[in-house]
Structures are given as C-alpha cells and as structure tokens.
Amino acid sequence: MSEVLFNPFDPAFRANPYPFYERLRREEPVHVSPFGFTVLTRYEDVARTLRGQEFARDIDAHVTPREDDPRRARRERIRQRQESGQAAKTILNLDPPDHTRLRRLVSLAFTPRAIERLRPRVQQLVDDALDVAAERGSMELVEELAFPVPFQVISDLLDLPVENSAQVREWSQILTASLEPTADDAAFDASEVAGAAMGAYVSEVIAERRRNLGDDLLSALIEAEEEGDRLSEAELRSFVILLYVAGHETTVNLIGNGMHALLRHPDQLRRWADDPSMDVNAVDELLRYDGPVQETVRVPTVDVRYGDVEVKKGTLVMTVLGAANHDPEVFDDPDTLQLDRPSASRHLAFAAGVHYCLGASLAKLEAGVAITSLIRRFPEVHLDGEPGWRDRLTIRGVDHLPLRMR
C-alpha cells in the first residue's frame, strides 16, 4: 500500500509532502520505491546514512547501473569530459579523499569570520528593500527581498557583476530542475546546455580575475593553496557554479518558506518580533519546519541493514531531510512550529557529515537579518493574496508571497 506514498509525480505530494512522509515513516520507514531507489524517512536512519563512511555521495561511480538506464550514454559522455580535465565533479559529488582535499582548499576562503564581516552589507540591502516596502505599504517578498539579497551577497562575495542576474537565475533554475526525482531526458538535456553556457560565462570571469586579483572570494579561491596543492581550472569553475546556484536557489526559499510559516502562526511571529534572544533558535526551527532542501542521496558501498531491512551495495538511497526533521522520536509534536523548541538545532536541513552545507552560516545570517528586520519593522505584516509555490520537491519553496504592511 505504501508504494504510492513516495510518488514525486503526484501533484498532491509535491504540494505538501509532510503527510506522505509521516505515513511512510510509520508504515514503511525503509521504503523500496518502484522508481528504483530506497527511501529513508526516520531521523536516525537519515543521520546515520549522511554521516557513515560506508555511504558514498558520488552516485555515478557507485550506483549499480540498471540495464535499461536511459542515462547511460549521457553519464559516459560526462565521465569522458571529466577524465580529460575539461569538466570536474562538484565538491558535492565527490567522496574522500578527493572531497577532503577540495573542501580544505575552499574552506580556507570561506571562514565564519569572513561571513560575519558581511553582516552590515546584508543589513543595508535588507533595509533598502524594506524602505521601498514601507513607502508602498506592500511588498512581493520573493522578488523584492528573498531573491535579490542572497543574489547580491553571493555576487559581492565573488565580486561578480549583478547585471546578468536574470540569465544566471535562469541557468540555475534549469540546473536544479535536473535534481528533481521527476527529471526526464528533456530536463537533463536542458541542464547540460545550461551548464555549458554557465561554464563558459564563469570561465571568462575567472580568466579576467586572474589578471586582476582582488580582495574577494573568487581571488582567494584562485590563490588558495595548501602544501603546493591548488584548485584546477575545471574545479574552480564547478565550484563557482555551485556557489552561484546554492547562493540563490536555497536561501531564497529559507526566507520565503520561513515567512510563510510565520504568517500562518501570527502568535509566534509576534513573540519573536519582541524577543531578540530567540533569533538563533528561531531560524533553526524554520529550517526544521519547512526546509529548502527536502532530500539528498547516498549509495552504500557495502551491504547495509536498517533494522530488518537489508539494502544492497550500489542501491540509490534517498535520505529525506524534510521527513527526518519531522520525526516525533526526535522532535515532539513535529508539525507544530515552535520557535523556542529546545531541539531545533538538531535538524538535518543542511545535511550532516562531511558534506554538511558549507554555506550554512551565510544562509542563517541572511535569513536571520531579512526576517527579523521585516517582522520588527512591520509587526503588522499580513498576507496580501494567495502565496504561490514552485512545483518542485527536492528544492522546495514559495515563489510568490505578497505582503501588506503598515
């Protein structure tokens, strides 16, 4: 019966996956899906899979290919480009020791101190957007705040022009569409084309920056060196693309989904507005309650067991972060938004283990400043029409949130 419960093709599931996760966790927490992967919904199983050394992230290298895999030729083409050095896997798709090497190099340029230095700039961008809203008495949250602030910040960090924002946003949306479990051949074709176009754009920017190094993250990445080791040209390009995509396909949804949750819980909104001591925990609770990244994947490199169920090595395992974050074993009354929830920071919205989100502190800083500034300046903020949701599952978010404020 529960086979239908993880059906990304079902519009009701995509619109609100939480009731489906709940039933799945109760009825078949290790669910062998007819779509060819195994789905985990219990917190403990998800956390163990993300942290365990017996699980790989590099799907192409470790998943046992199906005979009828329609993506075989595409995978082979991409593999050849990677082997010839024309392309590189992103850090997200690497396993140790390659992952360890790359993560060390990029972390050098991505320290919490560097991120904290951005606070005044984030505040200024948010205040400017709120000034416009104050004059008008209304705002469309996504277009006027949730998207432009993270986009401007990642562009500032890398010192990249924002004039191309519409084009970069379009490429990013095409690239992330291929992460959806419903992605078909057309989505993968489009993603290859967008990836190539974005790669060419980023290569030009890198070449220009090599001639004019500055005090920005891109220059730091170009110069990043440890024990004679550096990022190759293809690694650098992949990483900049990942930062761009992560920088504005995820944080925008934390701000959007977070405000959406608060507007549905006005008592919580008012409490938070009056109490800055809640700032850190409240952002964690928003990440737990309706996080922007709903699931990711791993592959066991040996046969593993979850309770009674054995999962064979080479099986694609989907770790549903959104389900783990609503597991009543860890979070009491999980479907209630509780901004002072003591266990909120245990959420897995940024995953866990070696791939734990590199941009977590930046995302929290941006969302914290955006939401607290908005609700403190306009405690009387209301929905002004129907919110719209992107029809996506992996990256879940509102794409339209009209607000009215006094």
Would you tell me which residues interact with ligand HEM (CB under 6 A)?
Answer: 57, 91-92, 103, 154, 242-243, 246-247, 250-251, 254, 291-293, 296, 349-351, 355, 357-359, 362-363
CB 293, min distance to ligand HEM, A: 4
Q: Using an 8 Å Cβ cutoff, are 234 and 85 in contact? A: yes
Task: Classify residue 307 as left (phi > 0), alpha (psi -120 to 50) or beta.
Answer: left
Cβ-based nearer residue to ligand HEM, 118 or 405 = 118
- Structure token pair of residue 78: 């991409």
Q: Which two tokens stand for residue 167?
A: 């084009």
In angstroms, give the least distance from the CB of 217 to ligand HEM. 9
317, containing H or E segment? strand 317-320
CA distance 188 to 274: 47
Residue with smaller CB distance to ligand HEM, 29 or 359: 359
Helix H or strand E encompassing 359: none
Tell me the residue number closest to ligand HEM, measured at CB: 359
Q: Name the minimum Å distance from CB 142 to ligand HEM.
A: 14
Minimum gap (Å) between residue 22 Cβ and ligand HEM: 21
3-class DSSP assignment, residue 12: helix
As a dihedral over the C-alpha atoms of residue 244, residue 248, residue 250, residue 252, rounded to 10 degrees, the angle is 170
As measured in angstroms, the least distance from the Cβ of 362 to ligand HEM is 5
Residue closer to ligand HEM (CB basis): 102 or 269: 102
Element (H, E) at 93: none
CA 362/CA 154 separation, integer angstroms: 10
Residues 6+ apart with CB under 8 A from 163: none
Closest approach, Cβ 220 to ligand HEM, in A, equals 14
Helices (H) and strands (E) in the chain, counts: 19, 14
Q: Please count the other Cβ atoms lying within 10 Å of the Cβ belonging to residue 248.
A: 25
Tell me the Cα Rg of the chain: 21
Decide if 244 contacts 172 (C-beta within 8 A).
yes
In the complex, the smallest distance separating the C-beta of residue 56 from ligand HEM, rounded to whole angstroms, is 11
Cβ closest to ligand HEM, residue 138 vs residue 389: 389
**Nearest to ligand HEM of 243, 405 (CB atom):** 243
**Minimum distance, C-beta of residue 260 to ligand HEM, in the bound complex (Å):** 14
Alpha helix (H) residue ranges in 264-391: 266-274, 279-289, 321-324, 360-377
Helix, strand, or coil (residue 69)? coil
Residue number with CB closer to ligand HEM (40 or 405): 40
| Closer of 174 and 242 to ligand HEM (Cβ) | 242
Pick between residue 41 and residue 405 the one whose CB is nearest to ligand HEM.
Answer: 41
